[in-house]
Copies of this chain bind each other. A is one copy, B any other.
Amino acid sequence: MAAVLPPEKLSETHRPTLDRALDAIRSRAYWSPHPEHPKAYGEDGVPGSLGPAEGKAAFDAVLNTRFDLGQPGTDGWVGGETSPYGPKLGVEYPHVDPDVLLAAMRSGMGAWRAAGPQTRALVCLEIIARINARTHELAHAVMHTSGQAFVMAFQAGGPHAQDRGLEAVAYAYEEQTRTPSAADWAKPQGKRDPLRLHKSFTAAGRGISLLIGCNTFPTWNGYPGLFASLATGNPVLVKPHPGAVLPLALTVRLAREVLAEAGFDPNLVALAAENPGEGIAKSLALRPEVKIIDYTGSSSFGDWLEANARQAQVYTEKAGVNTVVVDSTDDYRGMLSNLAFSLSLYSGQMCTTPQNLLIPRDGIATESGTKSFDEVAADLAEAVGKLLGDDARANGLLGALVNPDVKARLEAAPELGEVALASRAVANPEFPDAVVRTPVIVKLDGSGPADGAAFLSECFGPVSFAVAVDSTAAALDLLRRTVREKGAMTVGAYTTSPEVESAVEEVCFDESAQLSLNLTGGVFVNQTAAFSDFHGSGGNPAANAALCDGAFVANRFRMIEVRRQA
């Protein structure tokens, strides 16, 4: 049977997008093929896409159903997602027998390898396009698993995640095609005939790739590994966080649909859901068939994977302690409002949210004179308070706390030091059971050993520390120590001094951290844009990989050479 989606049709549709993506990763200028405004979808929007009402209806229709993917090796049904906004999702997913499923996943690998880098990339782009068309549905799924507010779930869980997936495909394609598929080699031998060989080079995937998803950004953190592995020839088994299965289950369904239409084995992408507490990630990660693992989550399990899943290439994003050095500014209000937004967005539940704001004890220079440490802390508290003063706006920015652990950390934070800004509960009229909280800011002493224990641990959630340091130099020392020992996904700094700017840069170069300088407008330290910004550095303890670079894709396949006498 001929494929519904033959390579030439895929090429006509998607090759121009791939080329634009390849240009973008080379120039690192702004680019995205995925509109981020909800109104851009539906009638008169992205062709074939679901509009707001259709997306909501599609989401509602999947609730309280059995999500049958037709996978081999299904030995039961599991599910137990509860929205951080209150409702139970009631969706049941296939539970798998890995002995059956992994074997089935491997059987399609030869044809997928033989398809070559371009066809694999184009199939991935078709999958991403199908996902994009259902962004409204996915937005509800992300919202009701992560607790993100709708607009963020729509943008970060939709177009921005799709951008990161496409970026990974572009890197994967480029990496595989750096070596030509064939070469003729002729080595001169003086007066004798040259030695001649014909050589072929085939990008061969390593084996099954395991994606271990997270609760807070199931698609944004999941798509890079999923598409990097699939585009480089590997089947991908998706093991979502038990609290955030639906966004990845919807993704797997679309991937399987496209693979089948393009004439490939749909089992190249499969889902492995689990009962809460079952811990199948651990046993899957040690299977000999699993050669690649992508993981986002706690440092303890990430470190365990790196140490124990020795048969696999392991890519981790773990926890870090993000720091902002506040030395001086010529736009004090801009700095405060920028920081206030960064601390508030998704209740600080981003791996990129600043935790420690290092502020010299004697104050900082601003365009309106020196501001003391206490003034900066108080003014920042006021800025956050104003930003979140209106409950509707607060709900739109904060979203809901993803789980009770976050709430517990938030509630324990005032015991750590003097509270500069207390957290308050925000009522959500649409979802009365949602736990919505504004951030707490606690003042700590950068020289105090007891305080150090607090600010040198990751306190995931809406908790930040205004840390008094002896000087900017002391702030840089603490920054260096924090990144080296604890890792960091982001570093921010505010300074009007070129010397301080250079010194912060040197620390970030030395310790491998991504730096945002003097952000006072509409870009925030916790946001990175695909095709232009690297997410994490892969060089400090917060993550062993960056999204996305050559290192993220180059070891997901091996280039196999066959040489013959010519």
Instruction: Write the residues of chain A forming the contact surface with B, with a CB cutoff of 8 angstroms.
Output: 25-30, 109-110, 113, 175, 178-180, 183-189, 194-195, 197, 199, 201-202, 204, 206, 306-307, 310, 505-506, 508-510, 512-523, 529, 532-534, 537-539, 546, 549-551, 554-555, 558-565
If A206-B539, A529-B185 touch, whether A512 touches B558 (CB-CB below 8 Å) is: yes
A561-B538 in contact (CB<8A): no
B554-A30 in contact (CB<8A): no
A554-B561 in contact (CB<8A): no
Q: In the complex, A506 Cα to B189 Cα: how many Å?
A: 33
Q: In the complex, A376 Cα to B48 Cα: how many Å?
A: 66
Q: In the complex, A110 Cα to B26 Cα: how many Å?
A: 26
A92 to chain B, nearest CB (A): 36
Q: In the complex, A109 Cα to B509 Cα: how many Å?
A: 10
User: What are 27 A-B interface contacts by the 8 Å CB criterion?
Assistant: A28-B199, A29-B184, A29-B186, A30-B185, A30-B187, A30-B188, A30-B194, A113-B509, A183-B532, A185-B529, A195-B521, A195-B522, A195-B523, A199-B533, A204-B512, A505-B562, A514-B561, A515-B560, A520-B565, A521-B565, A533-B563, A537-B558, A538-B555, A546-B558, A549-B559, A550-B554, A551-B551
A560-B310 in contact (CB<8A): no
Q: In the complex, A521 Cα to B193 Cα: how many Å?
A: 11
Residues of B close to A202: CB separation below 8 A = 509
Residues of B close to A197: CB separation below 8 A = 523
Q: Which residue in B201, B307, B515, B538 is a CB contact (below 8 Å) of A563?
A: B515
A204-B563 in contact (CB<8A): no
Residues of B close to A180: CB separation below 8 A = 26-28
- Nearest neighbor of A202 in chain B, beta-carbon distance: B509
A450 to chain B, nearest CB (A): 26
A538-B558 in contact (CB<8A): yes
Beyond contacts A29-B185, A199-B533, A206-B539: 13 other A-B pairs, Cβ-Cβ < 8 A, are A28-B183, A28-B185, A30-B187, A110-B509, A195-B523, A306-B310, A508-B560, A512-B560, A516-B562, A520-B565, A537-B559, A549-B559, A550-B554
A29-B183 in contact (CB<8A): yes
A509-B189 in contact (CB<8A): no
Q: In the complex, A249 Cα to B256 Cα: how many Å?
A: 57
B189-A522 in contact (CB<8A): yes
- Nearest neighbor of A182 in chain B, beta-carbon distance: B28
A516-B563 in contact (CB<8A): yes
A2 to chain B, nearest CB (A): 24
Number of copies: 2
Residues of B close to A506: CB separation below 8 A = 110
A546-B533 in contact (CB<8A): no
A566 to chain B, nearest CB (A): 10
**Closest A-B pairs by Cβ, 10 of them:** A539-B558, A551-B554, A28-B183, A550-B554, A551-B555, A204-B509, A517-B564, A515-B562, A512-B558, A537-B558
A27-B539 in contact (CB<8A): no
Q: In the complex, A29 Cα to B179 Cα: how many Å?
A: 11
- Nearest neighbor of A194 in chain B, beta-carbon distance: B30
Residues of B close to A538: CB separation below 8 A = 555, 558
A318 to chain B, nearest CB (A): 14
Q: In the complex, A564 Cα to B204 Cα: how many Å?
A: 40
Q: In the complex, A546 Cα to B538 Cα: how many Å?
A: 21
Q: In the complex, A508 Cα to B204 Cα: how many Å?
A: 9
B560-A513 in contact (CB<8A): yes
Residues of B close to A199: CB separation below 8 A = 28, 532-533
Residues of B close to A563: CB separation below 8 A = 515-517, 519, 523, 533
- Nearest neighbor of A563 in chain B, beta-carbon distance: B516
Residues of B close to A516: CB separation below 8 A = 562-564
Residues of B close to A188: CB separation below 8 A = 30
Residues of B close to A517: CB separation below 8 A = 562-565
Residues of B close to A109: CB separation below 8 A = 510
A310-B310 in contact (CB<8A): no
A203 to chain B, nearest CB (A): 9
- Nearest neighbor of A291 in chain B, beta-carbon distance: B539
B560-A27 in contact (CB<8A): no
A175-B550 in contact (CB<8A): yes
Residues of B close to A551: CB separation below 8 A = 551, 554-555
B28-A549 in contact (CB<8A): no
- Nearest neighbor of A545 in chain B, beta-carbon distance: B555
Q: Which of A188, A194, A512 has the most CB of B within 10 A?
A: A512
A249 to chain B, nearest CB (A): 30
Residues of B close to A509: CB separation below 8 A = 110, 113, 202, 204, 560
B532-A560 in contact (CB<8A): no
Q: In the complex, A519 Cα to B180 Cα: how many Å?
A: 22
Residues of B close to A565: CB separation below 8 A = 517-521, 523
A241 to chain B, nearest CB (A): 26
